[in-house]
C-alpha cells in the first residue's frame, strides 16, 4: 500500500510544502511550494511574520492538493523555542524572534531564582539566552502573562489554526526548558518557582498523534488528517539520517548546525553542562544529545552584507574560489555569541580576529574560506565532545540538510575528524516528517532503524573520505 502525505517544513529563513509518496519499499519527496521566512522589526523588537507564513502554508497545501487530491495526512515542523501567547483562542501579539534582545535581562533574573546548575539538572538543556523559559520570563516582566490563557509553540500554533486543537508536541516542547528531563512531562515545580502560570501550558502529545481533519476556515478542500511528527525540525531531520551503522554522529546543518549523537537516556553530568550540551526529545523517546553551533547563518549573513554594496556577489562563485584557495586563513570561534545577531557579520569576524591576535580575512573569498574552516573545526570538536561525554563510539559522521550540499564543508569535516562523512539527504527534515506521518497511518512500520534503512535506499548519500 502506498499513499501521499504533505510535510510543512518551516525553517528560520524559508518554508516549504513537500509532497511525499511512501509505502513499504517506496519513498520519494518533491517540493510543491517554497516561500521566504522574513522577520519584521517594529518599534518593540524583532518578530516573525507568522500570518504571512500561515498564508503561504495554506497556499502550499492547495498546490499539493491540486497535484494529488488523495493526500492522507499533513504535518508541521519548524524551528524551536518561539511561541505565541493566546487568550480566548487568539494571539496576544505577533511572536517574537529568538534573535530579539529582550531576553538579556530575563536571563539574569531567571538565574537569580534557579541557578544554571539546577536548571540543567531539571531540564537537561544547554544554555541559550533565547531558550523559551527566558522569553517567558521577559513576557512575565512585561505583564503579558497576566493576560494569557494559552501558549503555543510555532508548529503547534499552525496545527491549532488547521484543526482547532491546542496541544504541545513533545520533541519541540522539550526545547522550552519547562519539561522534566526525567519524566518528559511539564515540570510544574520548576514552572512554579519561575513564577510562570501553569494554566497556559497545553496537553502534551507524542509524534504520530492524529489531531483531526482540516477546519473549514482553512479553505483547503481535502480529507487529509493533521498528524503530529517530530515538530522540532531537528527531531524530524534525525529520523531521516540514513544511518546503517549504529556508531554515527549527525550534523543537521542549515541556519544552525546541530551536532550530536542519539542516545537512549540523557547525559546530565557537570562535564556535559560545562560543555553546553543539550538533551532534547527525539522521536520514539530517543534523546538527541547535541550542541548548537552557529551554522551557515554566519555565511548567509556575510553574503547578505556584501550584496548590499555589490548585488552581483553570489555564493556559488565564492565557494568555488574559496575551495581553490591555497593560502592559509585564520580560524575563529564559530560558537562565539558575538555572531548571533544579524547584520555586519564580516566586520564582527574581523573584529574577533583582531581581538584574538590573528590575521583577519581581507577579501570575501578569504572570509568564506575562513567561515567554512571555522565551522568544520566547531563541528568536529562537537562530535568528539559528544562521543567523550556520552561514551558512544562514533565511526562515521552524517551531514544532512542544506549544508550537505556544501562540498568544501563536508570534505573539511572528513579531513579534520579523520572519519568518513556521508552527506545527504538535503531535505532530511521533510523526509523525517513524511516518515513519521506514514508510520502513524500504517503506510510503513518498524523502528527508527527501519525508517532509516528506507531513507538510505531512496536517497543514497555522498561519501567523503578523509584526506591524509
Give 66: exposed, middle or buried? Use CB within 10 Å, 0-12, 13-18, 19+.
exposed
Rounded Cα–Cα distance for residues 436 and 80 (Å): 18
Q: Nearest 5 degrees, angle CA 243-CA 244-CA 247? A: 75
Rounded Cα–Cα distance for residues 76 and 211 (Å): 12
* Residue 146 annotated to the active site: no
Rounded Cα–Cα distance for residues 427 and 307 (Å): 27
Rounded Cα–Cα distance for residues 306 and 126 (Å): 33
Q: Is the peptide bond before 425 cis (omega within 30 degrees of 0)?
A: yes
> Residue written as cell 537516556?
265
Q: Please name the residues in contact with 115: beta carbons below 8 A apart, sequence gap of 6 or more.
A: none
Identified catalytic residue from 77, 233, 335, 381: 233
Give 160: exposed, middle or buried? Use CB within 10 Å, 0-12, 13-18, 19+.
buried
* Secondary structure class of 168 (helix, strand, coil): strand
Sign of CA pseudo-dihedral 135, 253, 458, 59:
positive
Q: Which sequence positions are flagged as catalytic?
A: 233
Amino acid at each position: 500500500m502506498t499513499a501521499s502525505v504533505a510535510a510543512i517544513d518551516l525553517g528560520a529563513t524559508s518554508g516549504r510544502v513537500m509532497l511525499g509518496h511512501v509505502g513499504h519499499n517506496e519513498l520519494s519527496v518533491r517540493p510543491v511550494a517554497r516561500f521566504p521566512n522574513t522577520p519584521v522589526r517594529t518599534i518593540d523588537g524583532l518578530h516573525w511574520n507568522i500570518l504571512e507564513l500561515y498564508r503561504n502554508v495554506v497556499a502550499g497545501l492547495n498546490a499539493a492538493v491540486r497535484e494529488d487530491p488523495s493526500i492522507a495526512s499533513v504535518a508541521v515542523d519548524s524551528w524551536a523555542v518561539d511561541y505565541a501567547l493566546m487568550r480566548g483562542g487568539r494571539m496576544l501579539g505577533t511572536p517574537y524572534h529568538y534573535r530579539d534582545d529582550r531576553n538579556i535581562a530575563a536571563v539574569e533574573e531567571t538565574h537569580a531564582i534557579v541557578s544554571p546548575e539546577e536548571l540543567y539538572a531539571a531540564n537537561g538543556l544547554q544554555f541559550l539566552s533565547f531558550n523559551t523559559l527566558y522569553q517567558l520570563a521577559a513576557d512575565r516582566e512585561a505583564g503579558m502573562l497576566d493576560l494569557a490563557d494559552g501558549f503555543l509553540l510555532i508548529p503547534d500554533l499552525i496545527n491549532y489554526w488547521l484543526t482547532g486543537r491546542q496541544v504541545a508536541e513533545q520533541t519541540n516542547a522539550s526545547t522550552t526548558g519547562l519539561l522534566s528531563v526525567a519524566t518528559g512531562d511539564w515540570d510544574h515545580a520548576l514552572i512554579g518557582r519561575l513564577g510562570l502560570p501553569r494554566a497556559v501550558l497545553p496537553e502534551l502529545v507524542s509524534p504520530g498523534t492524529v489531531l483531526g481533519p482540516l477546519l473549514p476556515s482553512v479553505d483547503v478542500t481535502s480529507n487529509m488528517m493533521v498528524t503530529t511528527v517530530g515538530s522540532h525540525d531537528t527531531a524530524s531531520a534525525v529520523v531521516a539520517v540514513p544511518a546503517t551503522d549504529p556508531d554515527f554522529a549527525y550534523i543537521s546543518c542549515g541556519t544552525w548546525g546541530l551536532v550530536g549523537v542519539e542516545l537512549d537516556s540523557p547525559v546530565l553530568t557537570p562535564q556535559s553542562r560545562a560543555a553546553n550540551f543539550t538533551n532534547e526529545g527525539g522521536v520514539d523517546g530517543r534523546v538527541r544529545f547535541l550542541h548548537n553551533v552557529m551554522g551557515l547563518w554566519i555565511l548567509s549573513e556575510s553574503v547578505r552584507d556584501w550584496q548590499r554594496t555589490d548585488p552581483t556577489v553570489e555564493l556559488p562563485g565564492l565557494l568555488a574560489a574559496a575551495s581553490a584557495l591555497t593560502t592559509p586563513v585564520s580560524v575563529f570561534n564559530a560558537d562565539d555569541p558575538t555572531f548571533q545577531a544579524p547584520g555586519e557579520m564580516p566586520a564582527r569576524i574581523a573584529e574577533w580576529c583582531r581581538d584574538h591576535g590573528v590575521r583577519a580575512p581581507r577579501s570575501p573569498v578569504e572570509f568564506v574560506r575562513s567561515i567554512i574552516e571555522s565551522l568544520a573545526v566547531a563541528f568536529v570538536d562537537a562530535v568528539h565532545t559528544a562521543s567523550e561525554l556520552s561514551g558512544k563510539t562514533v565511526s562515521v559522521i552524517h551531514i544532512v540538510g542544506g549544508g550537505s550540499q556544501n562540498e568544501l564543508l563536508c570534505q573539511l569535516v572528513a579531513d579534520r575528524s579523520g572519519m568518513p562523512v556521508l552527506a545527504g539527504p538535503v531535505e532530511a527534515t521533510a523526509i523525517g516528517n513524511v516518515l513519521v506521518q506514514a508510520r502513524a497511518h500504517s503506510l510503513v512500520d518498524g523502528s527508527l532503524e527501519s525508517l532509516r534503512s528506507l531513507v538510505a535506499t531512496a536517497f543514497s548519500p555522498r561519501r567523503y573520505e578523509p584526506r591524509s
